[in-house]
Each structure stands twice: as structure tokens, then as C-alpha cells.
């Protein structure tokens, strides 16, 4: 076990996988010489060389499109989108090509491809650079979408994503890069794709979250504990496939739930999770499921306004209290 | 070998096309690739080329005909081949098409069926029409979990105080209630309640017969159509009134002692007369709407009586009921009903009713509302005359009461008028001597 | 070439022609659904390029792909079965007309989104470059219309920046759907766009298969020698509309007729007869043989079964993954079982 930041965990995963398998390579904007705009790939270029750490022009369809083509020839590219906001430029290649080529040609095309992208707001980058559109990508069958909330999960999930033969969208969160956590050592320590995980046990209320909101939920759980309410925090980790088993198992004991996400509430992750809770555990519902999400506005530049719009630990705490008392 | 030309599919969402112009006439030579016709689709007019060479033997459709994709449109015979008209017809029929050109035909109106009476199906009575907003299940606002626990423990949710928003009963409320029961020394009740709750053993049904599907008789279908039309298109409203039938029943008994068996008069016959007389004073109820702008008040008062026959109902009509003596009414109804049941009903028996009555009293029905027989304005539903406790002069007594419900068309009449009619009807029903005068 | 190779090439073009004509008939009978984009008139391009490509060269094209399927070496039976949506189709009936492929023949489809396959082609070449398959060329076909979309720019630019072995082939059939080239493109010769990338480029006649062979072989040699990507504009013409249901308001009959006089099959036939390679009778036999091949393909396709319900849920992922939702009917069905 080692204590490290999420950035370090991701970096380590990438490094180990590149060492382990010649076919793994990285491409994206500023990943090479610059070392990555979030410093994730710092040092890679010097060690692995320009063939395996490829700086690209600012051309997202070419970045993702050529990663798809390379994957078809048997390589295992890890393409980087500087932020997930730029994914829209390459939307066709992510959801029309990567998600569907395997199916449309009845299995002839293999796409062992990973797309890493950074999601989330809170750094005063204004509306077009601050989105959390994860739900949009999770909508498409054929794609796998994962988003870790802890450094250990970041490392284990990224390794699994790289080793997976399916196209995986790996969504990181900019404000999580410096959070610290215990990370097991070992080249083959993997976390499975498509599996949720209980990050904290409790019996009074189930808080479902992922990515940044896991950290917020854990803090909220500490606050709730002071009020005598023990919250169970279930970390989805994977948006597609969505693993509801631990959520339902928890809900059957607590009968109350809060779902927290950084994206907008309408048509979001909370909408899907609560619909499934009602479908799978209706007779266990003691109160309606509450959703904590971003205010439905384009995120503004002003710091105070931005924080007003973004979901906070405080929001999760209050929602949980209401749902317990209501 | 002759070739059949069909309406081509010219676009991925094309379902039909119109042949607007024949380019090759009957008798013309055709080479493969020649344009033989112009077809118009939603999107464009397209030239259609022939896949065959030979002679255009027959146009199967005229210009300006619209056909679905794959419908046959022409026959092309090979060089030197001649086909008779029969051969061509066979070829087309084999492909499932029509031998002659078919223009779109107007749909035929379904023939008017025999006038039918309403069906005695389950109708909510006027009182039971619920006008309030959406109620929570069982009338108590509660969470699914609380309901389940309450069901398991046989707790009446109405007794539990809800602590949730808007007074919602939640799990802890049910549990608190159960605690209270125990605390108040009613442990026995709680225990009994819990003891009684044995786990449900598995249930397996015995042999269950297969579903039976029966075709609806034309009569039933016609009834259905008319009832649906009436129920959906006319604004019905309903008035119920309870009549004192002591005197009516007594009078009937007395009169029947004087009559032979075959001629005995029923309560319904008296009612027919009473209704007819009341209608004289309320012609709006003996009426029909014309053109949505006029009301025709009928001169005749012909009361239709619902008679149960095999496969449905028929309404037999007593013409000029107001003018006939009760005895004559009784005989006519008996004869017509007999004919109806024997399947020998005459046209005159069932035509011309201006107002209808349906009586389910013989089945012990407490009260019901009938569906108006279009194009009439109203219908009266007669229920059983029952011996019930009644209050007269501040004292509890035994009396005979019969509920009658009027269904009326609100385009022709309204509540006040209909209510007055019901009141006037009381004069005749409750003082039946008036019917004999 | 040996005489047999000439006959094979001729027959291949006729097979493609008959395949397309037969497909049009089946479409009008309602047996082929969706979109159908016919290659009639362009046969010399795919047959010519197909006859000079090496097995290690990768072919990727857009949705007018039936001709390419044949030239890549696919069996017409399998192509026809796919058109009819049957299980024996190359994509088991799940791709249809626009998604023919056979990776074992290095034929990478068949793509429906205009231009989207262009950056993917860059990636195919990247893969060969990365794995040091120095002999391999990626041959990427696209139409004149696709040269105006963003994908084209990004894909070509990156191929040049990384010096990837791509033969970019623009099959310029003068129309992007219903829009003539000059109404959609800022430059009148597509090859001029390559100038913007500092990329070598050519424009050649695509109605003469021998010319196509010769020119393409020359350009491929350059690329194989490390010359980097090359844009080849091949002038051709499609005799039918963009796809079935195209009312062709954007061009007149005279223009179509003019190009039909240069029918590539007719041009090649004249050449073979003139050069004494084969007589008209011998070529007629090849026509008959092609006809027979296509009839057998149709029979095969019609006899092939429909893909079953299970195939609906297969191939979503390469790895064993649970299906989130099978749709209302099937979800309830499985609960009853």
C-alpha cells in the first residue's frame, strides 16, 4: 500500500501498462513534450519516446478517429481529450464509431481503446470548459463508461480499461487529481469494470455517488454521523454498465436514498439510479429518492456564482437529513 | 413467358405511389431499359424503366391511380407471345393482385341494425360518480414500505398517525403504532394479530378450463355500437328518486284478482302508463335533437320497453301509451315480448319509440342508470320495489319503496325540468288510481 | 498480365455491375430496405485499384461499398445475403448495404457517416507505421462531398504531419448527393485541397481500368518508398442517382448519356478486343458467367435464414457484459420463464 494522489495513481497505472504491453500507447494534445496539462504524463515522453507518446494537433476527430483506426490494427491506444468538453467535437467517433463498429460488423472489428477525459467544473473556466456530460455518453450501448472517485479505484480501473477489449471512456475529475488515498501496489492489481463499491457502511440512508461526489458524500457522511445518522456511501464507479446490486442491497436496509452527481439533474445519472430503485425495490421505499445535482444553468465564471450552482457537501448532508426525517 | 410489372419501391420510406402517366401504350414494343411509365411519390415524379423486353400487353391500372408498393401495374409479354385476357387475369391473381383497375372506393356505411335497447351492464349510479381529486391508495398517504409492513402486521393505516411530509405514514410510524399497542396492554391483540399471520403456503390451482372465445352476434354488436355512440356522444345526466309503491302494489293485486292468469297486469305496465301521462306535461323529455339546432317534440308518446332475448335485448314499443288503458298496454307488451323472445318480432313492434324504460326490478336490483337509446332524449331505469324501514310522521314503519333513475340528454333538457318530471311521475305512481281515470 | 487475369478483371467489373443492377431490382421489390447506394459507372476504380493492391494494404471506404467488397475479394453471395439482411451476410444482417467488411481480406468497410472513416484511415496507417509494417499502405476512398467536411481536414492533415502511408482516393463522381462539386467546394479540383497540406496529389481518368491500374500502381510505389500520404483524385461518374429514390433533379439526361458512352465496361471490352486479348464471344461468356454468379448469389441470399433474436444482443461488446435492458417485451418474457 502506498499513499498517493489520484494524479499519481493514474500516472502509475499508465506507466505500468505501457511497460507491460508494447501495444499500449498514448496520444493527445500536449501529452508528450508538455507532460500533460494535468501533469499526468510527465516524464513519459522522455522514457517511452515519441512513437508511444504522441503529441497531436488540436484535432479531436483525428485524435479519436485515428485511435480507433490504430485499435483496429491490434494496438491498444489510450487517447486523451484534454477535457471532456472537447469530446463534442469528436462526438461522432465516440458514439457512432467506437460504440458501434464491433456490432455493425458482427464482431469483426475489435476496439481495445481507452479515451481519457477530464470532467467537472469549479475552477472558473466558464461554461464551455466546465461541464459534466457523463450521462450523455453513458446513454450509448457499445461504450463502457467509468469514472473513479478514489485514487485506488483510479489506478485499478484504468488498468482494467486498458486491458479491456472494449472501448472505454475513462472520466477523471480535475479537482480530484490532488486528493490522496491508499493505493495497493502491484502491476496486476485491478478493479473490475461494471462494478459499484460500498465506500462507507451505514444503516440509516444510502448515498449513491461517483467521481467527485464520492468525496463530497464521504464528508457529508461524517457530518451526518455527528447527528447520529450513519450513512452508507455506494460508489457507482461505472456508469455503463451500471451495477445496481450494492445500491439495492443497501437500500433494502436503509429504505432511503440520496443520489449525488456533479452534472445537471435533468436526464442525469440520478434519474437513472432512482428509476431503477423504484423498479427493483418499490416495496422498500420509505421516502422518495432525493437527487443532488448541479443547478441547471451554464456554469458562470464568477467564483461565488459558480459554487452556488455546483453541488456541495452541505447539499448532500441536508438532503440526507431530509430524506431520513421525511 | 409473360412478365408482371409491379409498383416499384423508389425510396426507403415509400409505401405507395401514383401512376400519373403511361409512356408505353398497350400494344407498344418495349425494350429492357425503356421508360414505361411515370410514377409520383411523396417526393418526386420518377420515370420507371422496364426490366423486361417484349410487348406492353396490358395496363392493369389507369392513369392517376394510387397503389401500394408491389401492386401489379402492367403485363409485358415476350416477343411473339400472345396471352388471352384470362391468362393475364390468372397471372395477376397468382401474384395476389386485382385483374381490373381499381380506383379508391368510398367506404360503405354499415347498415343500420335493428333498434336495440340498452344493456344492463354495470353502470355507476348517479350517487357513485366520484368528482373529487386523486385519492391516495386506501385514502391514506403512506410509503410503499409502510404499507407493506402494515399489511404484514394487519395494521389499519387509517389508525396510524403519519410523521412524514403531508402527513405521510412511514415505516417508523407503523412501528410506533405497534409499540403503542403493546404498551397499552393490548399485547394480546398484537399477538393474536401476529399469530394469525401464518406464512402463506404455496397455492396450486386445480384444472382450470381453457378460455372460450365466442363470436359476438350481430345483435350484440349492434347493441354495442349504439350504446357506445350514446354513452360517448351525448351529455347524460342522472336523477334518482325513490317512490312510495305501497298503493301501487296494492292496486295491482286487487285488479289482478279480477283477471285471468294470461292477462294479469305487471307493475311495469302501470309504470308505462304513469310515465306516458307525465310525459304529456314534459314534452321535452319525449323529444329528439335534429341537426344539433332543433328539438323535435314528438306528438305521439310511444314508450319502448326493454325485453331480454337470447343474445341481447330488444325494445318493444307501445304506441300512444298515454291514450291506451293499462289493460291494453299490458296485453300489447306481453304479445310483443313473446314475439321478441320467439324471434318473430315485427317491424311495428320495435319501431318508433319516443321514450324508453328498462326494468331490472325482477332481478332485485336496488338502483341503476341506463344508457339513453339514441335518438331519444331520455330513458327511465326502474328497480325493484322493496319492503324497507321508512320514516313517516317521525315514526319508524315498514313501507314499499322503489328507486327510479332517469338518464336524460342535457342538450334537450336540464336538471330542474327533469326533476319536475320525476315529481309529477310521483303523482301518478304514488296515487295510482289516477292511472285508471 | 496474363490473359486469364484480364478476363478475371473484366468479369469482376461485370459481376459488380450485375450485382448493383440486381440489388436495385430487389430494392424495388422491397427485399432490400434502408439506403442503397449503387456503384454503377464507377467499376473501373475499385476493380483497377483492387487489382494492384497487395494483401497487406488496407482498404476502407464510405457507403458506396458493394463494388469495393467484390474487389477486395468478398464472395458476392455473402454481399447479397448482407443486403437482404440475412444471417449469412458478412455482418450477419446487422450492418446492411453500408457496412460490408471482411477484416481477413483487409477490407475495413463500408461506413455510413460521411467522412468519419477518414480519421480512422489515418489510424489504420498509424497502426502499420507503429508496428513497423513498412510495406503496408492504407487505401482510403471517399467521395467529392466528403472533402468539405471537418473529418477530411483533420484526417489528411494528421496523416501528413506524421508522414503516414495513406493513399487518399477521392472518387469524384461530380456530385455530393445532389450537389455538384462546384457548388460545394471552394476549389474546383479536389486534388488542390492536398496543396494545403503540402501533400503530393494527382487527378486521373477513372473510366479506363487500365489507366487506373497504371496510375495507382505508380503512386503506391512512391508511398511504399516512404513518400508519405498522397491524394489521388479519380474522375468518374455514377449512372444512377445518389441512392434509390433519388429523383435526380440536379442533372439532365444528356449529361448522364454522355458519360454512359464512356461506360468503363464498354471501354475495357473495346480495349481487350482491339489488343487481341479476347474476342467478343469470349467476353460474352464472361458476361454470362457473371450473370450466373449473381443469380447464385441471390438464391443463396434468399435461402439464408434471418438472424435470430439472440443476434440482436450479440456483439455489443467484445467481452462478456450484461445487457442493461432488452426492451419491454423481452424483459417481461424472460421474467415469465
pLDDT in tens, A188-200: 999 999 999 999 9
Q: Is residue C333 part of a domain?
A: no
| Domain membership of residue A86 as a residue range | 2-183
B3 pLDDT higher than 90: no
Chain B interface includes C33 (CB < 8 A): yes
B131 pLDDT higher than 60: no
Chain C interface includes B20 (CB < 8 A): no
Report, as ranges of residue numbers, the positions in chain C whose pLDDT lies below 70. Answer: 334-337
CB contact (8 A) between residue B170 and residue A286: yes
| 3-state secondary structure (DSSP) of residue C204 | strand
Q: Is residue C314 part of a domain?
A: no
* Percent of chain A scoring above 70 in pLDDT: 100
pLDDT at position B127, please?
37
CB contact (8 A) between residue B145 and residue A326: no
Question: Which CATH architecture fits B218-436?
Answer: 2-Layer Sandwich (3.30)
pLDDT at position B109, please?
41
- When pLDDT is cut at 50, 70 and 90, the band that residue B195 belongs to is low
Residues A84, A221 within the same domain: no
Stretch A142-158: mean pLDDT = 98
Report the CATH fold assignment for B140-193: Dihydrolipoamide Transferase (4.10.320)
B102 pLDDT higher than 50: no
Beta-carbon contacts below 8 Å between B and C: 31
B122 pLDDT higher than 60: no
pLDDT in tens, A118-133: 999 999 999 999 999 9
pLDDT at position B105, please?
42
pLDDT at position C297, please?
97
Known catalytic membership, residue A60: yes
Output the 3-class SS for B278-325.
HHHHCHHHCEEEECCCEEEECCCCCEEEEEEECCEEEEEEECCCCCCC
Q: Is residue A192 part of a domain?
A: no
CB atoms within 10 A of CB B225: 13
Residue B169 per-residue DSSP state? B
Residues A159, A20 within the same domain: yes
Residues A175, A87 within the same domain: yes
Stretch B67-84: mean pLDDT = 84
- When pLDDT is cut at 50, 70 and 90, the band that residue B31 belongs to is confident
pLDDT at position C76, please?
98
- Of A137, A143, A141, A293, nearest to A208 by C-alpha is A293
* Percent of chain B scoring above 90 in pLDDT: 29
Render B350-419 in DSSP notation, one character per residue. HS--SEEEEE-GGGT-----PPP-TT-SEEEEEEEEEEEEEEETTEEEEEEEEEEEEEEETTT--HHHHH
Strands, E, within A236-277: which ranges?
238-240, 257-264
pLDDT in tens, A83-118: 999 999 999 999 999 999 999 999 999 999 999 999
Q: Is residue C171 part of a domain?
A: yes
The last residue of one of the domains, among A183, A217, A234, is A183
The better pLDDT of the pair A231, B116 is held by A231
The last residue of one of the domains, among A133, A156, A183, is A183
In sequence order, the 6+-apart residues with CB closer than 8 A to the CB of C182 are C188
pLDDT at position C262, please?
85
Q: What is the CATH number of the domain that holds A315?
A: 3.40.50.920
Stretch A59-69: mean pLDDT = 97
Residues A202, A167 within the same domain: no
Report the CATH fold assignment for B3-94: OB fold (Dihydrolipoamide Acetyltransferase, E2P) (2.40.50)
Residues A142, A245 within the same domain: no
Residue A212 per-residue DSSP state? H
On whether the CB atoms of residues B25 and B76 are closer than 8 A, the answer is: no
Residues A167, A209 within the same domain: no
CATH 3.30.559.10 region(s) of chain B? 218-436
CA distance B149 to chain A (A): 9
pLDDT in tens, C96-109: 999 999 999 999 99
Render A98-145 in DSSP notation, one character per residue. ITTHHHHTTT------EEEEEE---SS--GGGS---HHHHHT-TT-EE
- Of C74, C75, C19, C16, nearest to C45 by C-alpha is C16
Interface test with A, best of B143, B146, B157 (most A CBs within 10 A): B143
Q: What is the phi/psi pair of residue A263, to 5°? A: -75, -175
Q: Which uninterrupted H or E stretch holds A318?
A: helix A313-325
Residue B165's closest chain A neighbor by CA? A326
CB atoms within 10 A of CB B132: 5
CATH 2.40.50.100 region(s) of chain B? 3-94
pLDDT at position A166, please?
98
Q: Which residues of A fall within a CB distance of 8 Å from C123?
A: 65-73
Residues A289, A227 within the same domain: yes
Dist CA A253 CA B206 (whole Å): 38
B88 pLDDT higher than 90: no
On whether the CB atoms of residues A175 and A120 are closer than 8 A, the answer is: yes
Stretch B5-14: mean pLDDT = 80
Q: What is the CATH number of the domain that holds C122?
A: 3.40.50.970
Which of 226-245 (B) contact A at CB < 8 A?
none
pLDDT at position B108, please?
41
pLDDT at position C104, please?
97
Residues A225, A288 within the same domain: yes
CATH 4.10.320.10 region(s) of chain B? 140-193
- When pLDDT is cut at 50, 70 and 90, the band that residue B197 belongs to is low
Query: What is the end-to-end Cα distance of chain A in Å, rounded?
Result: 42
Dist CA C43 CA A186 (whole Å): 57
pLDDT at position B137, please?
52
pLDDT at position C231, please?
98
The lowest-confidence range among A270-279, B340-349, C114-123, C225-234 is: B340-349
pLDDT at position C335, please?
57
CA angle A110, A112, A115 (to 5 degrees): 130
CB contact (8 A) between residue C34 and residue B44: no
Stretch B262-266: mean pLDDT = 87
Chain C adjacent subunits, 3+ CB pairs under 8 A: A, B
Q: Which residues of C fall within a CB distance of 8 Å from A64?
A: 119
- When pLDDT is cut at 50, 70 and 90, the band that residue B345 belongs to is confident
Residue C226 per-residue DSSP state? I
pLDDT at position B112, please?
40
pLDDT in tens, B359-408: 998 888 999 999 998 888 899 999 999 999 999 888 999 999 999 999 99
Its sign, for the CA torsion C42, C44, C46, C49, is negative
Residues A57, A85 within the same domain: yes
Dist CA A2 CA A151 (whole Å): 10
Dist CA B351 CA A106 (whole Å): 70
Stretch B313-331: mean pLDDT = 90
The last residue of one of the domains, among A158, A183, A208, is A183
- Of A137, A92, A104, nearest to A269 by C-alpha is A137
**Total domains, chain A:** 2
- When pLDDT is cut at 50, 70 and 90, the band that residue B138 belongs to is low
Q: Which residues of A fall within a CB distance of 8 Å from B164?
A: 287, 326
Chain B interface includes C29 (CB < 8 A): yes
pLDDT at position B191, please?
57
The lowest-confidence range among A39-48, A204-213, A232-241, C327-336 is: C327-336
CA distances for A125 relative to A6, A85, A121, A302, angstroms: 21, 11, 7, 9
Q: Is residue A124 part of a domain?
A: yes
Residues A164, A269 within the same domain: no
Q: What is the ipTM of this complex?
A: 0.89
CB-nearest partner of A108 from C103, C125, C138: C103
Q: Which residues of B fall within a CB distance of 8 Å from A287?
A: 143, 164, 170
On whether the CB atoms of residues A229 and A204 are closer than 8 A, the answer is: yes
pLDDT in tens, B233-260: 778 899 999 999 999 999 999 989 888 8
Residues A279, A226 within the same domain: yes
Dist CA B309 CA B313 (whole Å): 5
CB contact (8 A) between residue A165 and residue C102: no
CA distances for C142 relative to A95, C60, C62, C145, C191, angstroms: 21, 9, 6, 8, 13
Its sign, for the CA torsion C71, C76, C78, C83, is positive
Dist CA B420 CA B436 (whole Å): 22
Question: b vs e for B282-295, b when ≥16 Cβ sit within 10 Å of the residue's Cβ?
Answer: bbbbbbbbeeeeee
Dist CA C221 CA B222 (whole Å): 84
Residue A97 per-residue DSSP state? I
| Domain membership of residue C181 as a residue range | 3-308
CB contact (8 A) between residue C244 and residue B43: no
Residues A95, A207 within the same domain: no
Q: Is residue A255 part of a domain?
A: yes
What does the mean pLDDT of chain B come to? 81
Dist CA B218 CA B220 (whole Å): 5
Amino acid at each position: 500500500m502506498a499513499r498517493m494522489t489520484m494524479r499519481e495513481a493514474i500516472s502509475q497505472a499508465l506507466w505500468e501498462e505501457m511497460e507491460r504491453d508494447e501495444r499500449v500507447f498514448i496520444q493527445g494534445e500536449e501529452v508528450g513534450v508538455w507532460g500533460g496539462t494535468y501533469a499526468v504524463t510527465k516524464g513519459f515522453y522522455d522514457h517511452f519516446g515519441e512513437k508511444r507518446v504522441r503529441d497531436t494537433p488540436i484535432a479531436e476527430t483525428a485524435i479519436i478517429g485515428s485511435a480507433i483506426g490504430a485499435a483496429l490494427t491490434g494496438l491498444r491506444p489510450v487517447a486523451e481529450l484534454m477535457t471532456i468538453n472537447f469530446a463534442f467535437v469528436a462526438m461522432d467517433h465516440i458514439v457512432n464509431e467506437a460504440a458501434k463498429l464491433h456490432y455493425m460488423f458482427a464482431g469483426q472489428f475489435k476496439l481495445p481503446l481507452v479515451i481519457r477525459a477530464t470532467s467537472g467544473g469549479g475552477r472558473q473556466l466558464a461554461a464551455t470548459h466546465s461541464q459534466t456530460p457523463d450521462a450523455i455518453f453513458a446513454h450509448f450501448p457499445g461504450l463502457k463508461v467509468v469514472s473513479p472517485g478514489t485514487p485506488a479505484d483510479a489506478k485499478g480501473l484504468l488498468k482494467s480499461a486498458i486491458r479491456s477489449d472494449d472501448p472505454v471512456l475513462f472520466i477523471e475529475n480535475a479537482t480530484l487529481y490532488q486528493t490522496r488515498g491508499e493505493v495497493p501496489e502491484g502491476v496486476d492489481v485491478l478493479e473490475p469494470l461494471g462494478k459499484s463499491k460500498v465506500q462507507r457502511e451505514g444503516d440509516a440512508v444510502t448515498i449513491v455517488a461517483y467521481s467527485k461526489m464520492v468525496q463530497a458524500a464521504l464528508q457529508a457522511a461524517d457530518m451526518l454521523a455527528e447527528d447520529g445518522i450513519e450513512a452508507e456511501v455506494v460508489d457507482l464507479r461505472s456508469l455503463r454498465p451500471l451495477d445496481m446490486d450494492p445500491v439495492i442491497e443497501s437500500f433494502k436496509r436503509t429504505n432511503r436514498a440520496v443520489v449525488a452527481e456533479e452534472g445537471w439533474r435533468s436526464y442525469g445519472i440520478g434519474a437513472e439510479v432512482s428509476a431503477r430503485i423504484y423498479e427493483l425495490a418499490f416495496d422498500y421505499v420509505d421516502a422518495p429518492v432525493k437527487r443532488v445535482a448541479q443547478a441547471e444553468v451554464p456554469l458562470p465564471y464568477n467564483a461565488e456564482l459558480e459554487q452556488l450552482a455546483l453541488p456541495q457537501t452541505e447539499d448532500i448532508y441536508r438532503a440526507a437529513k431530509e430524506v431520513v426525517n421525511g | 413467358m409473360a412478365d408482371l410489372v409491379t409498383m416499384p419501391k423508389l425510396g426507403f420510406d415509400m409505401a405507395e405511389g401514383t401512376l400519373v402517366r403511361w409512356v408505353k401504350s398497350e400494344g407498344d414494343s418495349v425494350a429492357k431499359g425503356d421508360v414505361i411509365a411515370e410514377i409520383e411519390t411523396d417526393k418526386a415524379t420518377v420515370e420507371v424503366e422496364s426490366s423486361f423486353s417484349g410487348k406492353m400487353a396490358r395496363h392493369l391500372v389507369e392513369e392517376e391511380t394510387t397503389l401500394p408498393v408491389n401492386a401489379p401495374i402492367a403485363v409485358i409479354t415476350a416477343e411473339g407471345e400472345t396471352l388471352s385476357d384470362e391468362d393475364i387475369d390468372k397471372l395477376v391473381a397468382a401474384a395476389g393482385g386485382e385483374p381490373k383497375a381499381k380506383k379508391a372506393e368510398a367506404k360503405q356505411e354499415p347498415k343500420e341494425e335493428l333498434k336495440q335497447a340498452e344493456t344492463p351492464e354495470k353502470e355507476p349510479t348517479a350517487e357513485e360518480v366520484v368528482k373529487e381529486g386523486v385519492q391516495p391508495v386506501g385514502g391514506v398517504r403512506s410509503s410503499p414500505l409502510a404499507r407493506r409492513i402494515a399489511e404484514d402486521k394487519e395494521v389499519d393505516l387509517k389508525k396510524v398517525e403519519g410523521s412524514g411530509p403531508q402527513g405521510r405514514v412511514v415505516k417508523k410510524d407503523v412501528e410506533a403504532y405497534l409499540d403503542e399497542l403493546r404498551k397499552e396492554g393490548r399485547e394480546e391483540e398484537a399477538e393474536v394479530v401476529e399469530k394469525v399471520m401464518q406464512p402463506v403456503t404455496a397455492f396450486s390451482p386445480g384444472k382450470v378450463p381453457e378460455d372460450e372465445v365466442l363470436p359476438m352476434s350481430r345483435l350484440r354488436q349492434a347493441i354495442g355500437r349504439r350504446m357506445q355512440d350514446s354513452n360517448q356522444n351525448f351529455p347524460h345526466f342522472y336523477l334518482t328518486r325513490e317512490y312510495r309503491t305501497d298503493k301501487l302494489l296494492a292496486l295491482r293485486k286487487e285488479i289482478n284478482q279480477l283477471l285471468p292468469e294470461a292477462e294479469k297486469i305487471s307493475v311495469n305496465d302501470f309504470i308505462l302508463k304513469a310515465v306516458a301521462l307525465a310525459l304529456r306535461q314534459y314534452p321535452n323529455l319525449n323529444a329528439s335533437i335534429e341537426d344539433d339546432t332543433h328539438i323535435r317534440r314528438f306528438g305521439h308518446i310511444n314508450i319502448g320497453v326493454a325485453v331480454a332475448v337470447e343474445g341481447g335485448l330488444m325494445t318493444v314499443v307501445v304506441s300512444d301509451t298515454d291514450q291506451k288503458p293499462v289493460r291494453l298496454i299490458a296485453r300489447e307488451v306481453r304479445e310483443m315480448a313473446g314475439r321478441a323472445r320467439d324471434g318473430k318480432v315485427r317491424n311495428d313492434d320495435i319501431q318508433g319509440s319516443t321514450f324508453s324504460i328498462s326494468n331490472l326490478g325482477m332481478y332485485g336490483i336496488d338502483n341503476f342508470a341506463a344508457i339513453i337509446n339514441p335518438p331519444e332524449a331520455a330513458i327511465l331505469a326502474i328497480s325493484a320495489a322493496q319492503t324497507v324501514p321508512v320514516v313517516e310522521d317521525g315514526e319508524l314503519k315498514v313501507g314499499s319503496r322503489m328507486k327510479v333513475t332517469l338518464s336524460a340528454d342535457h342538450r334537450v333538457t336540464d336538471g330542474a325540468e327533469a326533476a319536475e318530471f320525476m315529481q309529477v311521475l310521483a303523482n301518478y305512481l304514488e296515487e295510482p288510481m289516477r292511472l285508471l281515470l | 498480365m496474363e490473359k486469364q487475369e484480364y478476363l478475371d478483371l473484366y468479369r469482376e467489373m461485370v459481376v459488380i455491375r450485375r450485382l448493383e443492377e440486381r440489388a436495385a431490382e430487389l430494392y424495388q421489390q422491397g427485399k432490400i430496405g434502408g439506403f442503397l447506394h449503387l456503384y454503377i459507372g464507377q467499376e473501373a476504380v475499385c476493380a483497377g485499384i483492387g487489382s494492384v493492391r497487395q494483401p497487406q494494404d488496407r482498404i476502407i471506404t464510405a457507403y458506396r461499398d458493394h463494388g469495393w467488397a467484390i474487389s477486395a475479394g468478398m464472395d458476392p453471395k455473402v454481399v447479397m445475403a448482407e443486403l437482404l439482411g440475412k444471417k449469412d451476410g458478412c455482418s450477419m444482417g446487422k450492418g446492411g448495404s453500408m457496412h460490408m467488411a471482411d477484416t481477413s481480406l483487409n477490407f475495413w468497410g463500408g461506413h455510413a457517416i460521411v467522412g468519419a472513416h477518414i480519421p480512422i484511415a489515418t489510424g489504420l496507417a498509424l497502426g502499420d507505421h507503429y508496428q513497423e509494417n513498412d510495406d503496408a499502405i492504407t487505401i482510403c476512398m471517399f467521395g467529392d462531398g466528403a472533402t468539405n467536411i471537418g473529418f477530411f481536414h483533420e484526417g489528411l492533415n494528421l496523416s501528413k504531419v506524421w508522414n503516414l502511408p495513406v493513399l487518399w482516393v477521392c472518387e469524384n463522381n461530380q456530385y455530393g448527393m445532389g450537389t455538384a462539386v462546384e457548388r460545394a467546394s471552394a476549389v474546383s479540383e479536389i486534388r488542390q485541397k492536398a496543396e494545403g497540406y503540402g501533400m503530393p496529389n494527382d487527378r486521373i481518368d477513372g473510366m479506363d481500368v487500365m489507366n487506373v491500374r497504371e496510375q495507382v500502381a505508380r503512386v503506391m510505389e512512391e508511398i511504399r518508398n516512404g513518400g508519405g500520404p498522397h491524394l489521388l483524385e479519380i474522375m468518374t461518374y455514377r449512372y444512377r442517382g445518389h441512392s434509390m429514390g433519388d429523383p435526380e433533379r440536379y442533372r439532365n439526361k444528356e449529361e448522364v448519356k454522355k458519360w454512359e458512352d464512356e461506360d468503363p465496361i464498354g471501354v475495357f471490352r473495346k480495349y481487350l478486343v482491339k489488343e487481341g486479348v479476347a474476342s467478343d464471344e469470349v467476353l460474352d461468356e464472361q458476361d454470362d458467367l457473371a450473370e450466373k454468379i449473381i443469380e447464385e448469389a441471390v438464391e443463396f441470399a434468399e435461402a439464408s435464414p434471418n438472424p435470430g433474436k439472440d443476434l440482436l444482443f450479440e456483439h455489443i461488446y467484445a467481452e462478456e457484459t450484461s445487457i442493461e435492458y432488452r426492451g419491454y417485451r423481452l424483459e417481461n418474457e424472460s421474467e415469465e420463464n
